[in-house]
Structure 1
């Protein structure tokens, strides 16, 4: 049975007008005249046999039918956008990148201006996530993750660098910190609840990880450590700038955690994603070669 779908122009005009609440704003977004938007909406109302707006022209309100249609169209246009971007292979436009929040803030964003200078036509849209990658479920183009694999089947994996971790604390606490950090408050993050135990097993330094303070977000825990509230286990990429500036100290150094940072790309080759992953690999090499970077 053939679908009875009104013209896409009419649906786009109504969706923009309903989202903005004003036809003049919808006209500006779609680069058409106010009268063109009005005609398309009137055509759609005539075709559907219901009113979609009510009230005076300068204060239009959606009817119940208009509200229902707008909700469906918003979701529908989002799906169309995802489908188009999934197969498009242009060198400009948006590129959706998923990345753990703290890594985004402390490593990726401070370097992102260099990618923009090289590829000004690509708009990098960042979203924070650390959950397992599923390109069939998720709409992003590239995902940056830290782990030991296995990575999604078929996804192209670009190795960035091995992760090293170590205890970090504020300078004022370093003077009273023993080798096992006894007497200091141990800080934990929900996303890496067993970080102290894992570091202790790898370093051979016995630490009583019980007690201490737990933070919902990794970034909160790092800020607590910088403020002198205790000592935490942190990956080198997230604290490199703080260590170099003296804001944090790492009295026990850093050791390999067994995890690696990687960039994962959709199985289908895309020029924008390829350019971004190539840039990431270059930045990772520069970072790994910087003075003071502990060897994995």
Structure 2
């Protein structure tokens, strides 16, 4: 049996419902933000598809025919149920903020601060994901992401949070053992991380030549490389922003001020068109304030 709705645009049903409820093509046009001519055309097209008249055209109003009355009751009930379902989905969605971010940034910088955000927004639950891939946020069900790069991603808007900078970090015992006084002291040091990234740091420090391969370990996550440095296995090239607590506590030593960047920075991203979402707006404003108040971020922005 053929579907009776097949070939009938739902937009026509919406226009018909408004006209039948208001008994006026003109008032229906005003409610729907259409022209009166467009409403009249949609009704005529619907009548043509159904093969019968739905309205009696009177001088100052329209009156549904018997068939129009039956369809009007069903259309109003269906649209009311649809609106309620959409309201329920929207309300439920506004109570959950789904974030996808980088693992090291999540564990070292974001997660310790999220409690403050939740205290300010007790009705908003947070779901945190640490996928390294730049996901299609809408398709994967995420509201926002925090990613490193240039800030240019198709289908997304972005806001720069903080610069992406790297500098050598190691434990105090390793710093004493190597007697780190000058960047050239790291040329033969046991290093953690990719050689090409170290080469970029040596170039930033004015040592374009002479670095000998000395990498002991590379890992997928920055936090794992720093964990090795904390275990006195070598010197890691890592973010002084993300590991500011360990530096302040004396667990890590930052022997040199030279920094290197491999991309523009860390960006908060969200799907195009969702800038005005209340929960995204609240999180975006709060997160930017957190970054602006972080001394390590301020220092990195100044290039120190």
Q: Which bracket does the TM-score occupy, shorter chain normalised?
A: 0.5 to 0.7
Corresponding residue to 1:246 among 233, 245, 250:
250
Instruction: Output the CA distance in 2 between the equivalents of 1:183 and 1:210.
Output: 7
1:86-122 deviation per Cα after TM superposition (whole angstroms, max 9, x unaligned) = x836784111100001110000011111101111111
Unaligned runs of 5+ in 2: 5-85
2:143 alignment counterpart: 141
SS at match of 2:243: helix
Which residue number in structure 1 is paired with residue 284 of structure 2?
277
Give the superposed CA RMSD.
2.9
2:109 counterpart SS class: helix
Is the Cα–Cα contact under 8 Å of residues 137 and 145 in structure 2 kept in the other structure?
A: no
Question: What is the match of residue 191 of structure 2?
Answer: 186
Q: Which residue of 1 aligns with 2:241?
A: 237
* Match of residue 171 from structure 1: 172
Match of 1:262, SS?
A: strand
Shift of 1:278: 1.0
TM-score, reference length from structure 1:
0.63
Residue aligning to 2:201: 199
Aligned to 1:50: none
Q: 1:220 to 1:108 in 2, by over 3 A?
A: same
Query: Does the 8 A contact of 1:158 with 1:262 survive in 2?
Result: yes
Q: 1:211 to 1:114 in 2, by over 3 A?
A: closer
C-alpha distance after superposition, 1:31-82 (max 9, x if no partner):
xxxxxxxxxxxxxxxxxxxxxxxxxxxxxxxxxxxxxxxxxxxxxxxxxxxx
Please tell me whether residue 220 in structure 1 is matched to residue 224 in structure 2.
yes
2:125 maps to what in 1? Answer: 123
CA drift of 1:292 comes to 6.3
Moved more, 210-219 or 142-151: 210-219
Deviations 1:131-161 (A, max 9, x none): 23433543211000122242234x2212211
- Measured in 1, the distance between the counterparts of 2:213 and 2:301 equals 24
**CA–CA distance in structure 1, aligned partners of residues 272 and 173 of structure 2:** 49
Q: Could you tell me which runs of 5 or more consecutive residues in structure 1 were left unpaired when the two chains were aligned.
A: 4-83
> Structure 1 residues 164 and 254, CA, compared in 2 at 3 Å: closer, same or farther?
farther
CA distance in 2, matches of 1:177, 1:294: 29
Mapped partners of 1:132, 1:285: distance in 2: 24
Deviation at 1:290, TM superposition (A): 7.3
CA contact (8 A) 1:97 1:126 kept: yes
CA, structure 1 residues 281+89, in 2 after alignment: closer, same or farther (shift >3 Å)? farther
Corresponding position of 1:267: 272
**Residue 171 of structure 2 corresponds to residue 157 of structure 1:** no
- The match for 2:75 is none
Aligned residues: 212
CA contact (8 A) 1:92 1:123 kept: no
8 Å contact kept, 2:151–2:158: no
Q: 1:148 to 1:111 in 2, by over 3 A?
A: same
